[in-house]
């Protein structure tokens, strides 16, 4: 499936959408597209300067956009943001949990700080946000939470062990929460994209530990992920959406190795060589 193509049968209704991690990458790309489609936005990032810079460049002063600095690790801050969003727009239709953190290191070289920040941002941030949004949405009997995980949520990636653990947690929590909340009219979708051409990819380009991340013929473009989220996840509200490079075979391979970990012993040397080749190719000017 080419995620860059928007299906002609998509009929858009105006929504109030909250997005985390909007200072760059997928979060910023989502905010730009949603702004262009006329949705009301609550745009957040932990870095106030980066958020305001992105806003000046992409979201001219407008009643359509509410900027808010947010540390997703702070449960109380989530509650305050929800109250402000409802006060401004009257409701919250969609929460897009995009903010994330990644360190590419072998498990025995990972620091206490690496572990803490990865779990706090990737896991606690998603749980705090989902729970805060759910409380607001349950009152209306409608809403949709979309949590961005990773292909590493389907198959543990050597070299990204702590990151893999955090994204497995996001997937498990999201699927369980989806079942809990559906009787209240609230949907939860976990999105599992492969490698995306963002700053997070750049962090991994020179790390041999991250070679397996680069197994696809090319990275996904942010626009491909945005299109899949807005025109697939937001429209059909599945429990899970996997986004990979078309015809790459990444998704079925990830699910197979995730279900049968012993296969990794045989496949890892081959995929590592391929990944290192792709890393070198992407590093070339």
d(CA 272, CA 114): 24
d(CA 42, CA 85): 7
Contact 19, 67 (CB under 8 A): no
Contact 152, 137 (CB under 8 A): no
User: Of 163, 173, 187, 214, which is the active-site residue?
Assistant: 163
d(CA 81, CA 70): 8
Is 35 one of the catalytic residues? no
Rounded to 5°, the CA angle 171-252-29 comes to: 55
Residue 78 tokens, joined? 């989530």
d(CA 157, CA 164): 6
- Which residues are CB-neighbours of 270 under 8 A, at least 6 positions away? none
**Looking at the annotation, which residues are catalytic?**
163
């Amino acid at each position: 499936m080419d995620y860059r193509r928007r299906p002609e049968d998509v009929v858009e209704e105006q929504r109030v959408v909250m997005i985390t991690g909007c200072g760059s990458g997928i979060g910023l790309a989502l905010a730009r597209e949603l702004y262009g489609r006329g949705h009301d936005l609550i745009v957040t990032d932990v870095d106030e300067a980066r958020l305001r810079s992105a806003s000046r460049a992409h979201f001219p002063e407008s009643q359509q956009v509410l900027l808010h600095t947010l540390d997703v690790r702070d449960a109380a801050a989530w509650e305050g943001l929800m109250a402000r969003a409802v006060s401004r727009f009257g409701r919250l239709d969609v929460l897009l949990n995009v903010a994330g953190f990644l360190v590419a290191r072998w498990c025995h070289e990972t620091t206490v700080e690496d572990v803490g920040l990865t779990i706090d941002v990737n896991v606690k941030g998603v749980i705090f946000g989902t729970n805060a949004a759910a409380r607001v949405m349950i009152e209306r009997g409608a809403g949709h939470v979309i949590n961005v995980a990773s292909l590493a949520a389907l198959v543990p990636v050597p070299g990204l062990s702590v990151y893999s653990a955090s994204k497995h947690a996001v997937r498990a929590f999201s699927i369980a929460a989806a079942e809990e909340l559906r009787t209240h009219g609230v949907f939860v979708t976990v999105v599992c994209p492969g490698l995306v051409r963002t700053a997070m990819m750049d962090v991994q380009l020179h790390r041999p530990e991250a070679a397996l991340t680069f197994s696809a013929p090319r990275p996904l473009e942010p626009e491909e992920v945005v299109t899949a989220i807005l025109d697939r996840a937001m429209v059909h509200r599945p429990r899970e959406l996997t986004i990979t490079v078309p015809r790459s075979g990444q998704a079925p391979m990830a699910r197979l190795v995730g279900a049968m970990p012993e296969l990794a012993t045989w496949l890892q040397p081959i995929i590592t060589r391929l990944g290192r080749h792709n890393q070198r190719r992407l590093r070339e000017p």
